[in-house]
Structure 1
Amino acid sequence: MPMKKDRKFQSQMRKNAKELININNRNARIAAKTAEQEKEKKDTTKLRVVICVILLIAICAGFALRLFDWQIVHGEEYKELSAASTAHTVDSDATRGEILDVDGHPLAVNETAYNIVINKVYASEDHQLNLIIIDLLNTLKQCDVAYIDELPISYVNGEFVFDEGSGGDVEYIESPSMLNKEGLSAQQIVDELAKRYKADNIDDPYTRRAVVSIRYNMEKKGFSYEQVYVVASDVSSDAVAVVSERTQTVPAVEIRTVNERVIKNGTLIPHILGVVGKIDEDEYADYKEKGYGLDDNIGKFGIEAAMEDYLRGKAGTKTIITDEDGQIVGEEETVKSKPGDTVYLTINSRIQEVAAYTIGKNIKEAQKLGLEDVKRAKANKAKEQSKMGEDCVAGAAVMLDVRDNSVICAASYPNYDIAKFYDPDYSEYLFGDEDIPMFNRAFEGAFAPGSTFKPCVAMAALQENIISTDTTIHCDGEYDYYKNDVVHCLGVHGNQKLESAMAHSCNCYFAEVGRRVGITTMYMYAEKLGLGSKTGIEVSESTGVLAGRDSTTWFEGNTVQAAIGQSDNAFTPVQLATYASAIANNGVRYKTHLVRKVVNYERTENVLYNDPEKPEIVAETGVSQDNIDLVKEAMYAVTQTDNMRAMAGKYPIKMGCKTGTAENAGSDHNVFICFAPYDDPEIALCVLFEHGGRSYLPQQAACDILDAYFYDKDVDDVKKDPWKF
């Protein structure tokens, strides 16, 4: 048995050994194959690297050969070709947006005009440019067209002399920006500029000066391939025809159609509208970053300035390709110009015209009556002559829509014609007139409000529980609580309660109420009602002066003066109208504004819209409805006094109102504020006459304006049928 087992064991061992040999052989074959594959892979990688290197060398060699061909073999040829074809980017003007009244009637619009310009693309050499200028000047002279001349030197009696007031311009010419020489005579400046512009070979002094003037202005305005230079602006169509014919062979001279700013009625809202003019050097620093050039126009003041970002629009650009002869061989508009947006104001032109007419008429009437009083006083050898309006020369009126505080009209007198603003003779008159017609009294004139301040004092006292409707204060014609600040009343009213005191404008009553309220509480309510605060209108306005808050010194006795609208109190007519509106709106003050909406130039979509149904609330007084109603009732009671029933109380539409007479040097100021209709207010109005002397005249003007609003009267209707008390 053991022998069988051994044989079986040996047989199994041989079998296992055989299998082990087979496995080893198989592994050896696999290893050999793998080694062979790795070798093939390495050979392939080396081949790829070699191919890449060869390709890279070939590409570099190709570039080198091409550069050699461009720069060495054909360098001059390509240089000439490049010089022969030049591309310039030129700005195209953007049309300025227009300004319309609330009904779309034009106020400042665009009309087609013609400018004669020189384009540097066609005249790059000094000598060539000077010859073009001389030929053009001769043509313009024959057409009686003046070129734009800003050189501050004239040729008079055979010599060059500085123009009057030319100091700043001369300093600029002598500065490092130009000649970099100081203390030169007029002759020396012309000579130096002539050398600078290669015009020193021109013998005729008039021609030399003209060429130098244009070249000087070209440099100043940034004349370049991108910026043409305007030689003459707003040229007649007849002159355009002549210039076009005589410059057909002079491609550098071009006739360009531009949109000229035209004011349709220069006397309607001159203080509000403003003007457009060239950027000056001081303004350029601020506007440069916005993409403006020195030859661009901007709004100088008024709505033109306030809405500049909307009105301006965006200039476009186009690329012009010219050949070596200066001929245009290609043109492409790269960026389209975008016209400016159109601005609709809240101003109603018909009511504005009535307001301007009636305040002017009644101010003249006040002055006439005052002068008659002076004449009588002199005839009677009176020691004291009249102070009843002989010095009345100015005033203002502002009407608001109380539902959103949009300005319906805002007239300032004396008035002026802004369409003539750039006329030298007219502007000399404007800036020299001692009555300052350019001063916007409606928005910037601050005046003592007189008794129109009393409703504010009443609201503060009622809300602070300092008085009630039953509070009685005695008036004996004089209030002397403070011996150094005695308040005089216009009458002896006896015991007074709020309604009677408001109706009779009792100074003694309100002086005592003001003392109890205190100056701090008083001016806090005044601020909320819009007094001594900017109203929010888009154009320039004064903050006014609020007694106590803005006073440099203050004594206790000053409070009683402030309570009757005197002391340091000084408010603008637009603030007083806003104040009346806040009372009409039960103590809610809306933002006062002149812009109804801004639309795109095509007028198809709104860019900005001041929705009258969604007015912006600026402040709320916090006065209860009961207390507001008491003040309103007191303001209605004003119309029921004997005097007022013969004046504004006669008006067929019920109103709440208050008159004010403010003492100052000269005749008293007269103020009238109101809101109407009393039961459902639509408008608030302030009329103010400087040194008016007679309180009924502002009321007459107010009734004319109310007629324009409520009965659709125009200025012709008011002239035929004015209010007369």
Structure 2
Amino acid sequence: MIGDFLYTVSKIIKSRIFIVSLIIIALFSTLLYRVFDLQIVNENYYMSTYIQQAERTVYNQGTRGKIYDVNGKVLAYDELAYTVRMEDKLDSSNEKNQLMNDIVYKAINVIEKYGDKVIVDFPIILDQDGKWKENFSSDAAKKLFLKNIFGEKMKYKDRDFSNASAGELISHLKNVFFEVKLDVDDEMLLKILSIRYNVFANSYQKYVGVTIAKDINEKTVAAIYENEADLTGVMVEEKTVRKYNDSEYFAPILGYTGTISDTQIEEYDKKGKTYTSSDIVGKAGIESSFEKYLQGKHGEEKIFVDNTGKKLSTISKKDSKAGKDVYLTIDSKLQKAVYTMLEKRIASILISEIQNYDIDEDQETDEKIHNISVKKVYAQLMTNNVVSIKHLAKKSTPNENRVYSKYKDSVKLAVAELKQQLNSKNGKVYNDLSKEYQKYYDYIYDLLKNDGILLTSVIDTKDETYNKYVDGKISMNEFIRYAIKQNWISLDNLDVKDSYLSTEETYDLITKYIISDLRKNTSFGKEVVYYRIFDGTISGSEVCMLLYDQGVLKKDEATYSRLSTYDTYYTYTFIINQIQKLNITPAQLALDPCSGSVVITDPSTGKVRALVTYPSYDNNMFSGSVDPDYWAKLVDDQSEPLYNRATQGASAPGSTFKMCTTMTAMEEGIISQGDTVVDEGEFKKITPSPKCWIFTSGGGATHGSINVMQALAQSCNYFFYEMGYRLGTNSKGNYDSALGLSKIEKYAKVLGLDMKSGVEITERDPHFSTESSVHSAIGQGSNAYTPVQLARYVSTIANGGKNYSLTLLDKVVSSKGKTVLKKKSKLTNTVDASGSTWDAIHTGMREVITEGTVYKYFKDTKINIAGKSGTAQENKKRNSHALFVAYAPYDNPKIATSVVIPFGNSSHDSAELAKNVIQYYYGEITDKDVKKNVKKDDSNNVTQD
């Protein structure tokens, strides 16, 4: 029996099942041991190791604080919306670029299918004519971008890209860096490169990602979920989007927000502030200046992620906190009214200058009003993109068909002539060409440069041949051939099959590229159209009809029918009428004048009640990201709506500077209230000899014997020339301009003209004149001040010498309603001047209104106003700038203002606008008056200082 048992056991042991069972038991035992070791024996060690490898902290941005006006009206706030985010979830491989490009391309198509737009946050843009342009916020931003792409030395294969053109950079990014092989147009290429670059710049923290679309609709949300399998790393989430009320009026003050840049991260890091690369921050204006208050506190979520960055679970979570609310000193009602009045005043001036006849601008002198031929208005409607040349190709109406046919024929003729010239052996020397063809060759040079064919980064700017071309002494043909021999040419963007080409073969390839561009590009077409409108090939009537054809104006059959008769006078009155109604604005036409600014302050506190710049823009289009089409439109707009003229538009102050000269002369003992100077019309003590304004415009008239108050009231240039001369006369009786300038500068400083105004947004530095104390005494020379600096200057005069820094900030309030900061007035200095000096200045400014240069324009107000007009010449071929500074009431000033209308010509326009602003402030005119139609300025337009 025992033998049977042993035999059975032996048989089992020898069986395959037993052996397999033993192996399984051994493996299972090992597994149990490892589990016991991991979870019991060494639990703490292995858990900490796991967390170190897979724990991540994700920061959630808090809601930004609101921005209010001084009366508590909301100007900026956050609103929840759906956004699309993209992360880099692909492993590194040789195919990664191709895979990423495919994903980005698909994502763009899905987003745009239902009418949403992709964010294009990129420092190179396409303008409206399809040309690459740089769009760096600063030199530092460009340098950092280039370092990200090319490394610290900004080189690739020993080629220096530090000065590369936009076209060169795009070519490298497309062909080398991101290897975009997709067959797409430039607009799609820009979107792909923008997303690729931003994902690349953020690749060191994959789980954060970048926002590629914002405020998307529900159809787009659904489409992204439906295509999730093909859109690796693309997801939908809810985030806040910044919104702005009445944006047109406040955009230059408020600025806008956007994704934080690398340079901003560096700046904030130096200040000890923590930001992530996906954070939305203030980019300009108040949004940027008060970022530390408006920015909420980050929420913090600790998570586990896998090796691709995918979230597995949450460890802990800390909620974000809202930012603080900022209250401005700005009165929004006043701001909006002043903006409207400014636009209407500019329109009024423009209307007075438009004439229904041809004008030879080369024959105009600086002593004449620079009138505008109505043909130039018609041309501007097309060249400044009010009506679209691209839209003509649709030929929706008979008029569009007709104009398009003329356009194509005109371009064809111009291209044929250029082709013949470029294909000739020598070509025409630039200086021997007509102005029209010089313009065309300028276009060709810019084309080659911007498209990365002419490598400006490698051109030797001291080269003799290069400088001959710059001076117009050789032909384009000769220059291009020379550039080829000097290796200043790149063929990367051309379809080159043979890598070894002769100079002539390369030249032929380039000329073919040029001709191809000229035939299809509307930017060249605009150059041609300009001349065809002036020679009558395309009529003004046809251009005006396009305003209806393209929906710029609401359809009016009767008017359209009248325009189709090609009555030139009717067409002229039509366009004037449209400007009067502001259906066509000065900003759209971008002719002189098309811009202006008004600043209003409280002289007793320095608080700014209105800071207006015209034209403006819609900062909602920049909220969190920049709409590429809108940005391209703004960049191309010749009226420069992105330029804040109130804080950055510096110009000579003209005769508004004469109060400073008066103070200098009286305090330095050069003259007293009772002293007089005889105006002789022409100031012959220096050569060339400047003349008084009344002498040139009044047929040799003079102001006669005049004292200091009368000199201010009548703005007598001769009187102040004499003051500048006397101030520069040394003890030996010799004139020394530097001596005079040093004395005037001393008082300019105490009046606040040596410093920025104090407003908390970007402002240009002031510049005191370094040229001729005689000319500088009347506010010419190289004096340059912004409207906001002139507002501080006149505020200091108004309150008798208390020089307050200006401010836009009233208070900061926490999300719980507690005031955490109340801005106090900052007194920089007090002007130490005698009572007689102040009396002379204030009396003279009052007499400007009651009996001086602008008295007839102030008869209809009961408010006691003191002021000073000014004109400043910048360019003899353009109108002078029109300025006016004022305060009211005269006996107890509560408001001070500066008005500047660049190229406005006559200072009476700026004076009337200043009067209207003060009238509105004190209720003498109402919103109903502000809304009245623009009236044509029928004055004689005599420029009075």
- TM-score interval w.r.t. the shorter chain? 0.7 to 0.9
Matched-pair contact (CA < 8 Å) for 1:151–1:213: yes
Q: 2:900 — aligned with what?
A: 688
Query: Could you report, residue by residue, the CA deviation over 1:658-695 in whole angstroms, capped at 9, with x for unpaired residues?
Result: 11122342222221111001111011111112222222
Q: Is the partner of 1:646 in helix, strand or coil?
A: helix
Kindly report which structure 2 residues correspond to 1:304-453, keeping only aligned pairs within 5 A, or say none.
304-320=287-303, 331-334=315-318, 336-372=319-355, 375=357, 386-387=368-369, 390=372, 391-421=592-622, 422-453=626-657
- Report the CA distance shift for 1:417/1:261 in structure 2 as closer, same or farther (over 3 A): same
How far off its partner does 1:193 sit?
A: 9.9
- Report the CA distance shift for 1:314/1:559 in structure 2 as closer, same or farther (over 3 A): same
How far off its partner does 1:324 sit?
A: 12
Kindly report which structure 2 residues correspond to 1:86-125, keeping only aligned pairs within 5 A, or say none.
87-117=55-85
Q: Distance in 2 between matches of 1:686 and 1:268?
A: 18
Matched-pair contact (CA < 8 Å) for 1:648–1:700: yes
Q: Is the partner of 1:607 in helix, strand or coil?
A: strand
How far off its partner does 1:450 sit?
A: 1.7
Q: 1:533 — aligned with what?
A: 755
Aligned identity (percent) is 30
Q: Is the partner of 1:597 in helix, strand or coil?
A: strand
Matched-pair contact (CA < 8 Å) for 2:78–2:241: yes
Matched-pair contact (CA < 8 Å) for 1:133–1:211: no
Matched-pair contact (CA < 8 Å) for 1:445–1:572: yes
Query: Could you report, residue by residue, the CA deviation over 1:591-631 in whole angstroms, capped at 9, with x for unpaired residues?
Result: 011111222234x12232213xxx21112221133421231
The number of equivalent residue pairs is 621
Query: Could you report, residue by residue, the CA deviation over 1:81-137 in whole angstroms, capped at 9, with x for unpaired residues?
Result: 9759964422122212222222222222111112244789xx89899x999979995
Q: 1:711 — aligned with what?
A: 923
1:514 pairs with 2:724: yes
- Report the CA distance shift for 1:567/1:332 in structure 2 as closer, same or farther (over 3 A): same
1:588 pairs with 2:588: no
Q: Which amino acid aligns with 2:644?
A: N
Matched-pair contact (CA < 8 Å) for 2:68–2:328: yes
1:280 pairs with 2:261: yes
Matched-pair contact (CA < 8 Å) for 1:277–1:300: yes
1:524 pairs with 2:746: yes
Matched-pair contact (CA < 8 Å) for 1:88–1:225: no
Q: Is the partner of 1:399 in helix, strand or coil?
A: strand
- Report the CA distance shift for 1:218/1:671 in structure 2 as closer, same or farther (over 3 A): closer
- Report the CA distance shift for 1:716/1:376 in structure 2 as closer, same or farther (over 3 A): farther
Q: Distance in 1 between matches of 2:598 and 2:711?
A: 26
Kindly report which structure 2 residues correspond to 1:442-591, keeping only aligned pairs within 5 A, or say none.
442-490=646-694, 491-518=701-728, 519=740, 520-547=742-769, 551=770, 554=771, 558-591=772-805
Matched-pair contact (CA < 8 Å) for 2:713–2:851: yes
1:610 pairs with 2:823: yes
Q: Distance in 1 between matches of 2:807 and 2:71?
A: 16
Q: Distance in 1 between matches of 2:116 and 2:364?
A: 62
How far off its partner does 1:298 sit?
A: 2.3
Q: Distance in 2 between matches of 1:305 and 1:109?
A: 15
- Report the CA distance shift for 1:693/1:76 in structure 2 as closer, same or farther (over 3 A): closer
Structure 1: segments with no counterpart, 5+ residues: 1-66, 154-162, 195-208
Q: Is the partner of 1:409 in helix, strand or coil?
A: strand
Kindly report which structure 2 residues correspond to 1:691-702, keeping only aligned pairs within 5 A, or say none.
691-702=903-914
1:301 to 276, 284, 294: 284
Q: 1:156 — aligned with what?
A: none
1:671 to 883, 901, 915: 883
Matched-pair contact (CA < 8 Å) for 1:590–1:618: yes
Q: Is the partner of 2:747 in helix, strand or coil?
A: helix
Query: Could you report, residue by residue, the CA deviation over 1:276-313 in whole angstroms, capped at 9, with x for unpaired residues?
Result: 11233444433445322222222222222222222222
Matched-pair contact (CA < 8 Å) for 2:678–2:706: yes
Q: Is the partner of 2:248 in helix, strand or coil?
A: coil
- Report the CA distance shift for 1:119/1:103 in structure 2 as closer, same or farther (over 3 A): same
Matched-pair contact (CA < 8 Å) for 1:370–1:386: no
Matched-pair contact (CA < 8 Å) for 2:298–2:320: yes
* Structure with the greater alpha carbon radius of gyration: 1
How far off its partner does 1:375 sit?
A: 4.3
Q: Is the partner of 1:650 in helix, strand or coil?
A: coil
Matched-pair contact (CA < 8 Å) for 1:366–1:389: no
1:659 pairs with 2:869: yes
Scaled by the length of structure 1, the TM-score of the pair is 0.73
Deviates more, 1:283-292 or 1:647-656: 283-292
Q: Is the partner of 1:355 in helix, strand or coil?
A: helix
Structure 2: segments with no counterpart, 5+ residues: 1-33, 125-130, 136-141, 160-170, 182-189, 373-591, 695-700, 729-739, 940-945
Kindly report which structure 2 residues correspond to 1:18-37, keeping only aligned pairs within 5 A, or say none.
none
Query: Could you report, residue by residue, the CA deviation over 1:8-55 in whole angstroms, capped at 9, with x for unpaired residues?
Result: xxxxxxxxxxxxxxxxxxxxxxxxxxxxxxxxxxxxxxxxxxxxxxxx
Q: 2:428 — aligned with what?
A: none
Q: 1:267 — aligned with what?
A: 248
How far off its partner does 1:220 sit?
A: 3.0
Q: 2:733 — aligned with what?
A: none
1:256 to 237, 262, 265: 237
**Bigger strand share:** 1
Matched-pair contact (CA < 8 Å) for 2:344–2:934: no
